[in-house]
Structure 1
Amino acid sequence: MDPLLIVMVAVLALFIFFQFRNSKKRRAEQEKLQSKMVPGAEIMTQFGLYGTLLSIDEESNEALVETTPGTVLRVHRQTILKVVEDDAVEAEDTTDSVELDDDSEPAFGERVDKADSADDDGADKRDS
């Protein structure tokens, strides 16, 4: 037998083996996700939308997701990427607040109280 043919058959066999292994892994991950997807679970969609799963309709492949109280979105069931664990949501919700000194300028895009800025503008206009 030709050694090149043996190598090509071996590479083909490895390729087929890895294809089956990867499909088995994906199937197991999908089953794990399906078992976690119950109404009330916190989820994230493929486009980065976080919300609470309200219901899943298996026939039409649709899911109802509540993003904020009273806002319910209807999305395709396959767009649900993962069930978010409580630890991950709490870590994202913690934000550092920045406090300003009275004489410092606000950072770009930072909101300032309009009443404070109106008092300052009025004082500047009267002085000039």
Structure 2
Amino acid sequence: MLFLQNAATGQTGFQLDPLTIIMLVVLAAMIFFMFRSNKKRKAQAEELQTKMVPGAEVMTNFGLFGELREIDEERNEALLEIAPGTIVRVHRQTLARVVEDDAVVAEERVDDVGDADEPRDRA
């Protein structure tokens, strides 16, 4: 019966209804943002690798801070000095970021604001 109705009206070809157009636009936007985020992530990874040099202060994924002593590319390991004379061996991919002096100063400011001696206003 549906076939007869279409044949009777003479509609042939593919029609683009508004819902189809909207779905195609959303799909195109998703693909665009996916490639954009991948590009940003790759740039951040390259920047991190250029900063990972022996002597840099680093933080691991699990929150361990230390000074990077050596990176072994073949074994995919890094040596961190977490205290004078204490060196730990970690997987290279656990190195999350390079700690810069600006971040330490910002953390100290946050600690100074939250002193327990001063009453906080909860308004």
What residue number does 2:25 align with? 10
Residues 99-124 of structure 1 deviation map (CA, whole Å, 9 limit, x = unaligned):
xxxxxxxxxxxxxxxxxxxxxxxxxx
Structure 2 Cα separation of the partners of residues 91 and 4 of structure 1: 49
Say what the alpha-carbon RMSD is for the aligned residues. 2.0
> What amino acid is the match of 1:4?
L
Match of 2:37 among 8, 18, 22: 22
What residue number does 1:86 align with? 101
TM-score of the pair, normalised by structure 2: 0.70
TM-score of the pair, normalised by structure 1: 0.68
CA 1:90–1:71: 2 relative to 1, 3 Å: farther
| SS of residue paired to 1:59 | coil
Offset of residue 2 of structure 1: 1.8
Instruction: Determine whether 1:47 maps to 2:62.
Output: yes
Offset of residue 4 of structure 1: 1.1
Unaligned runs of 5+ in 1: 97-128
Unaligned runs of 5+ in 2: 1-15, 113-123
> What amino acid is the match of 2:46?
E
